[in-house]
Amino acid sequence: MARSALLNVMVQAAMKAGRSLTRDFGEVQNLQVSMKGPADFVSNADRKAEEIVFQELSRARPDWGFLMEERGSVEGKDSQHRWIVDPLDGTTNFLHGIPNFAVSIALERDGQIVAGVIFNPAQDELYTAEKGGGAFCNDRRIRVAARQHLPEMLFGTGIPFLGRGDHARFLFEMRHVMAECSGVRRIGAASLDLAYVAAGRLDGFWERDLAPWDLAAGIALVREAGGFVTSIEGRPVDHMAGDLVCGNEFAHKTLSGLLARAQKARAVEIVPKA
């Protein structure tokens, strides 16, 4: 495939950061790790990868701003463009030696996501998408799955953990979804979940309480692969809002319905009886 100059910049940054992560992943037990919060670790590898992405993208587009997991918001002279970056999505996987982690880079233009790159260096898989240009994995075109039968569908999600998320609400959702489909997977990196939906490996995905850098690049991939993406409540998706549900048209509609049913069931159960 022929990439645009802009997408090439993003790919170069992601792959350079990925090579750094690969070296550290090989020595994961020797990494110096600090606590950032309950069950939420940040490593030297994370910081190094973010610095690589920051330097690469700043060199190519010096006036554009950033929204990054560790560095936070960095204002640019050009207010129309902003990079949204997760240098190591799946930190917990990384620190436990599980090869499901990724560098995620998205481009926001006037508040809308117009391009995304997700790179899993451990499996050497590079996902790219640009508005109107389709979605690709290692330069091969990808599409969302075509399945239309719920019992055959495989969904992805994220599971709340210590100090994060509404555990009771998730259990209601899980109860309703898992009873209807062929399985539910928790990969541990939302960017890869979204990439897998785009590639047809997962039929759909939902999660709450995510950060913009978890969602942004994956939203571009799913859309360009022919998928549907909204908030869990059915509103137009907002990568700053922290939740989404996606899949092909049927999977998206069906999964959204199951989640709505779970919400109603929970509301009935928690209403005090007269």
Q: What is the pLDDT of residues 170-211, one digit of tens each?
A: 999 999 999 999 999 999 999 999 999 999 999 999 999 999
Percent of the chain surpassing pLDDT 90:
79
The per-residue pLDDT for 274 is 46
pTM flag (> 0.85):
yes
Say if strands 244-247 and 204-207 run parallel, antiparallel, or are unpaired: antiparallel
171 and 83 part of one domain:
no
The per-residue pLDDT for 38 is 39
For residue 121 the two structure tokens come to: 């260096």
| CATH number assigned to the domain comprising residue 79 | 3.30.540.10
Confidence at 62, pLDDT banded by 50, 70, 90? very high
Confidence at 24, pLDDT banded by 50, 70, 90? confident
Q: Could you say which of 141, 159, 177 is where a domain stops?
A: 141
137 and 154 part of one domain:
no
Dihedral (Cα; 67, 34, 156, 15), 10-degree rounding: 60
Q: Per residue in 207-221, pLDDT tens? A: 999 999 999 999 999
Q: Could you say which of 108, 141, 174 is where a domain stops?
A: 141
203 and 169 part of one domain:
yes
Q: Could you say which of 113, 141, 169 is where a domain stops?
A: 141
121 and 221 part of one domain:
no
| CATH number assigned to the domain comprising residue 256 | 3.40.190.80
Backbone phi, psi, residue 49, to 5°:
-65, -40
175 and 245 part of one domain:
yes
Among 9-18, 32-41, 215-224, name the one with the lowest average pLDDT. 32-41
The per-residue pLDDT for 39 is 41
Number of domains into which the chain is organized: 2
Q: Per residue in 248-273, pLDDT tens? A: 999 999 999 999 999 888 888 765 55
259 and 194 part of one domain:
yes
Beta strands, E only, the chain? 33-37, 40-43, 64-68, 72-74, 78-89, 102-109, 112-120, 125-130, 135-137, 140-141, 154-157, 183-185, 204-207, 228-230, 244-247
- In whole angstroms, give the CA distance from residue 11 to residue 158: 26
91 and 161 part of one domain:
no
161 and 263 part of one domain:
yes
188 and 85 part of one domain:
no
Residue written as token pair 């799955």 = 145
16 and 69 part of one domain:
yes
The per-residue pLDDT for 17 is 98
How distant is the alpha carbon of residue 155 from its chain centre? 14
225 and 261 part of one domain:
yes
Range of the domain at 29: 5-141
Determine contact, residues 182/154, Cβ cutoff 8 Å.
yes
11 and 134 part of one domain:
yes
Percent of the chain surpassing pLDDT 70:
92
Q: Per residue in 79-122, pLDDT tens? A: 999 999 999 999 989 888 899 999 999 999 999 999 999 999 99
The per-residue pLDDT for 60 is 96
